[in-house]
Amino acid sequence: MSLFDRRKLLLPLAACALAAACGFQPVYAPGGTGAALYGRVAVSAPDTVESYLLVQNLEQRLGRSSNSVGDYVLNVKVETATRGAAITTTNETNRYSIDGRATFALTSNETGQVVASGTVTDFVGYSAAGSTVSTLADERDAKERLMVILADQIVTRLYTAPDLAS
């Protein structure tokens, strides 16, 4: 038979009190930055495969703007560089790393002012030990994963932008 443990009840309540005391506000709460941006951001048109994947992920997270203009314009520029990460003694590359860098600027259409901007970076790796077809598939998958990571970082930066909080 188990006894009621007050500590299990008090711990979540204490965590909520601490979060409220530090100014924590849910992003998607009324007046939060998530609610302020969702469906109101027009992302710049992609010009490469990588930028297309990045824009696709950004639109999934921020919602597509109901009109082509939007209340905000998010200009993004993505750069990638592939380099060998593991080379054998016979000078064959078994693993590659793709470094990604995305520069972004969120501009208000109403004022023309840049509300949030910055640069995010990350990297992913993929194996080149299989056939040519599997290596190409691994590379494509790695680029897709990298664009998901960069989109997540950009959205996180936008949600924490002080000028967007109501």
Residue 38's nearest CA partner among 80, 10, 78, 66 is: 66
The string of pLDDT tens digits covering residues 69-96 is: 678 999 999 999 999 988 888 888 899 9
What's the whole-number mean pLDDT along residues 29-50? Answer: 84
Indicate whether 165 pLDDT > 70. no
Average pLDDT over residues 99-106: 97
In a domain, 124, yes or no: yes
Q: What is the pLDDT of residue 20?
A: 55
pLDDT number for residue 133: 93
Least confident of 40-49, 87-96, 101-110: 87-96
Residue 65 lies in a domain: yes
Assigned domain for 69 exists: yes
Query: Residue 134 belongs to what domain range?
Result: 30-159
Count of domains observed in the chain: 1
Please report, for the domain that includes residue 133, its CATH number.
3.30.160.150
Report if residue 21 sits inside a domain: no
- Between CA 12 and CA 163 the distance in angstroms is 31
Domain assignment of residue 24, yes or no: no
What pLDDT is stored for residue 15 in this prediction?
A: 65
* Mean pLDDT for the stretch of residues 145-149: 97
Query: Considering the domain boundaries, does residue 56 fall inside one?
Result: yes
Q: Considering only residues 31 and 117, tell me which one the structure prediction assigns the higher pLDDT.
A: 117
Asked whether residue 87 is assigned to any structural domain, the reply reads yes
Report the mean per-residue pLDDT for the chain. Answer: 85
Asked if the structure places residue 14 within a domain, the reply is: no
**SS3 sequence of 32-60:** CHHHHHCCCEEECCCCCHHHHHHHHHHHH
pLDDT given for residue 155 in this prediction: 95
Separation between Cα atoms, residue 156 and residue 161, nearest integer Å: 9
